[in-house]
Amino acid sequence: MRRLVVATKNDKKLYELKRYLRTVRAEVVSLKEYDTAPKIIENKRTFKENAAKKAVVVSRFVGGLAIADDSGICVKALGGAPGVTSARFAGSAKDNKANNRKMLRLLSGTPLNRRQARFVCAVAIADNGKVVKLIEEYCSGFIAFEEMGRHGFGYDPLFLIPKYGKTFGQLGLKVKDRMSHRSKALKKARAFLRKYL
């Protein structure tokens, strides 16, 4: 069985990816398994480019198969920001609460119909240093006026799904799994890997 290295040391991200990839015939591990793993600077302009860079660097390092994702939120009223800098929106500390506070501050006074946003997730799969699959998926919604709900992480408590009138933070994992940007991308990645392996 081949080893599939997830290009992250983030336990929450690893858990989410492992859930989707559990039916893939591979041993799924994270970069935490490697003491000398390279630090990857996400300095590209698009989600796809960042995901591809991470997958290629890790794939070369392990001499095999790697999967990476880059995701974030793009808000129309903010000209598409924070985009690829979503995790560092309020500073390099990657503080979810601070990011959400900044988002609410910047959108203060903006009516709901002008608070359109979309989550974006790019997933790249690389084998022996070459990208073999690149996927990008989306989930559309609005930015709520306050944080609501305790499920998920990041911008989930702010991301309002019109169909339900609730945020991802309120809806929980079961509903999020059916419609999120990451679930759509990872389902396609899973289908590809099943054939590839």
Residues classed as catalytic: 70
Q: How far is it, in rounded angstroms, from Cα 102 to Cα 78?
A: 12
Written as one string, the DSSP assignment of 183-197 is HHHHHHHHHHHHHH-
- The secondary structure element, H or E, covering residue 169 is helix 168-171
Is 141 in contact with 151 (CB distance < 8 Å)?
Answer: no
19: amino acid identity, one letter: R
Which phi and psi angles does 51 have, rounded to 5°? -60, -45
Which phi and psi angles does 141 have, rounded to 5°? -170, -155
Helix, coil or strand: residue 162: coil
